[in-house]
Structure 1
Amino acid sequence: METLPQDIIANILSRLPVKFLIQLKCVCKPWRSLISDPQFAKLHLKQTQKNSNFSRYRVLLITEPLESIACEASAEDLDDESKLILELEYPSAMKKTPDSDDLVDGWLDLGGSCNGLICAVFEHERIFLWNPTIREAKELANLNAFDPKASFSYGLGYDFLTDDYKVVRAARPSTANASNETEVEVLALKSNNWRRVQGLQSGTEIEGPGLFFHGTLHWLAARETGLKKIYVIVAFHMVEEKFYELVPVPDHVEESKDNTLVLGISGDCLCLFYGYDCENVFEAWLLKEYGIKSSWSRLFSVHRDILHGYKYWENALCYTKTGKVLIDYDGRELVWYDPKEKTSKTFTPGNHWDWFQPAIYIESLVSPNCYGATNV
């Protein structure tokens, strides 16, 4: 190995999973320096994204203890908890004190993930960027004051032009507020300052974390048009920092307070999970051509009786390469459902909280502390 050029060594190591690279930091000082280099993290991320043999996506269970599970878990893994669960640790930056086991005060909300980083928000007052794989976190600048009764949505994405990560915060005012426009601000990690940008048009509502895909953040949005409500996918361009309407949802997705709509990713396409209680049906749609409404194609449609188990809600998390849907039941169970075989496998994590919040992410070496000057 000593005779190999440094770029060859970097190329070889960049093809390994993160868990091995963390161990290999202990081999020698040059390897530790190489694996810790932000440029190597970018090289490794690029290799991971183009290597179809890697099971890229994992689901992080925000609970105690912190747990991570591969989205592509096999039936054998689901029967063996020691193979299925990877137990992680919360970073000291997100604890009350470095030696404490308790997180900082406040309810934890998740604001999306991008390239291994997760946006974590406590009571809409403190916000962190966090890589659970390498256990690093950075607290961002204080949030600006908005209507305290507003509904908030967050998103995390990457701006390829400036090589920077950006957090988007959207505040939909309460009904008591005279303005109906959703206010939006952006924080670029390198500057660590919040800036107001173009808001969403009046009457357009988004909820939940944004989904980063194709260099853009995406949300499902509802918009009132007279007496009718329509659903569309809106996008926020990370470079231009502007919202635009990408595409409406499939025509037959009609207004109903009982409907459940969830945006996801399948391979290199956006997908839409749709459950409607009135007909007891659960289905998934794939947007085969980005931004083209006519390219919506139904992946499957099943009767909900097959998906037994949940009491309050079902939240589809992702559609795997093997054709299974990973579903969160009530924040207490994970279900891998195979719509082709009409079979399912349920896993109930054991934890001290008796519930979890799920976050889909990938393992990476990207450190939030390599951007900007204010580190935690």
Structure 2
Amino acid sequence: MASFPVDILTEIFLRISARPLVRFKCVCKSWNSLLTSPFFIKAYLERSTKLHKFNLLKYDSDNFSRVQIHYPPNNELSDLDTSFIRDGEKFKLVDSCNGITCFSTFDRKIRHNSKIFLWNPSTGENMALPQPSYHVSNLVGFGFNPLSGHPDDFTVVNVNIYIEKWPNYTSQVEVYSFRRNCWKQLGNIFPPSLSQHLGNQVIFENFICWCPFFRLDHEILALMILYDVAQDAFQKMALPDIMPLGEKLISLLDGCLSVIARNSSTKQCEVWIMKEFGVCESWTKLYTIGASTTIIGIRQPIGFADSGKVFIVNTFYRGLREKSVSHLALYNIQSQKFETFQVVVDCYDTTQLVTCLESLISLSSTKDVKH
């Protein structure tokens, strides 16, 4: 084994899934040294953007949170083990970056029971973050600083809002650095007059991006909220006036920020893409997704399975006496057809989708402060 050319061995390993590579570390010292080297971890991450992508689908079923994995283009789902989260506890899938996924739990009754977890689904490694100074809120963001040059320079944002008399409030913002394994308080920096429910998020370069739906003085505000991980600062970004004002889902499509916006007048969902980041005029409507509202129910998108398919939650109304039924479906943009999964979910609001990469980034090294 030791005489095998390292460059050839590296090329072979770069094409293998992460789970076998974790076992290969035990074969010999030279293999372990190669597979844990910063060079190989970075190279594997770069290769994963082309070869090792998958989707994580989180949903609640029978009042219990589950996570399943979906590999495009196959329309199959398989379970993942999330037993590291307290048994029976519901959780939120915040986002995923460089193969590391962030979860949060939120206990309204006993706030200090709420926790934040980081998890590498490719290796099974996980860790609970140290508790912040203020309790974990229901407004948690997960980001990454690509400007640092470190593939594990992750940041978690925890925003607590204290309402005095709406719309007046104060905020306490804290950020956790994975490389330093500690929290830092930023104070009352959350933008004023904004919703406490920002919806889903995406990570774009060094920004955590949200596209909330909220009203202020009976007026619907159309804008994006961004948190700059490198600068520790929030900012607002306007959306075009011609974009529908209904509820929006933010996503990434073909390397650009994208929004799926509900059009209340046409009952359709419109897919928009921002071709030039930060330029409002560059927003372009790509296509529409069927009727979002039908006679017997409603279709609500939760994200792109890939550039040609959209995951949908179909909810069918059974009448006043029976509970509505929601299940997962895939919408094929080209054929304009829906394919239903045999997966029943409690509701649309607790169903989430994020794209993930296979990664060998380790979470165990946070015990020692990094520099």
Question: Is 1:373 aligned with 2:368?
Answer: yes
The whole-number CA distance in structure 1 between the counterparts of 2:355 and 2:326 is: 19
Question: Is 1:264 aligned with 2:251?
Answer: yes
1:211-230 correspondence to structure 2 within 5 Å: 211-221=202-212, 228-230=219-221
Q: Which residue of 2 aligns with 1:191?
A: 180
1:232-243 correspondence to structure 2 within 5 Å: 232-243=223-234
Q: C-alpha offsets along residues 114-143 of structure 1, whole Å, 9 cap, x if unaligned?
A: 112121112262111111221111111113
Shift in Å, 1:179: 4.5
Structure 1 residue ranges without an equivalent (≥5): 79-83, 96-101
The whole-number CA distance in structure 1 between the counterparts of 2:295 and 2:17 is: 35
Q: Which residue of 2 aligns with 1:347?
A: 341
Q: 1:284 aligns with which of 238, 257, 271?
A: 271
Q: Which residue of 2 aligns with 1:117?
A: 100
1:1-376 correspondence to structure 2 within 5 Å: 2-22=2-22, 24-25=24-25, 27-37=27-37, 39-49=39-49, 51=50, 54=51, 56-61=53-58, 66-70=67-71, 72-74=72-74, 78=75, 84-90=76-82, 92=84, 94-95=85-86, 102=87, 106-123=89-106, 125-145=114-134, 152-160=138-146, 161=148, 163=150, 164-174=153-163, 176=165, 179-197=168-186, 199-205=189-195, 207-221=198-212, 228-245=219-236, 247-255=237-245, 259-304=246-291, 314-318=300-304, 320-321=306-307, 323-329=308-314, 332-349=326-343, 357-362=351-356, 363-373=358-368
TM score, norm. by length of structure 1: 0.78
Structure 2 residue ranges without an equivalent (≥5): 108-113, 316-324
The whole-number CA distance in structure 2 between the counterparts of 1:66 and 1:210 is: 18
Shift in Å, 1:144: 2.6
Shift in Å, 1:204: 2.4
The whole-number CA distance in structure 2 between the counterparts of 1:178 and 1:228 is: 13
CA contact (8 A) 1:320 1:326 kept: no
Shift in Å, 1:338: 2.0
The whole-number CA distance in structure 2 between the counterparts of 1:319 and 1:107 is: 24
User: For 2:169, what is the secondary structure of its paired residue?
Assistant: coil
TM score, norm. by length of structure 2: 0.79
Q: CA RMSD in A?
A: 3.4
CA contact (8 A) 2:144 2:206 kept: yes
Aligned residue pairs, count: 343
What one-letter code is carried by the residue in structure 2 that aligns with 1:17? S
What one-letter code is carried by the residue in structure 2 that aligns with 1:364? S
The whole-number CA distance in structure 2 between the counterparts of 1:348 and 1:217 is: 33
The whole-number CA distance in structure 1 between the counterparts of 2:167 and 2:95 is: 29
What one-letter code is carried by the residue in structure 2 that aligns with 1:252? I
Shift in Å, 1:41: 2.4
Q: Percent identity?
A: 22
The whole-number CA distance in structure 2 between the counterparts of 1:248 and 1:219 is: 12
The whole-number CA distance in structure 2 between the counterparts of 1:261 and 1:338 is: 20
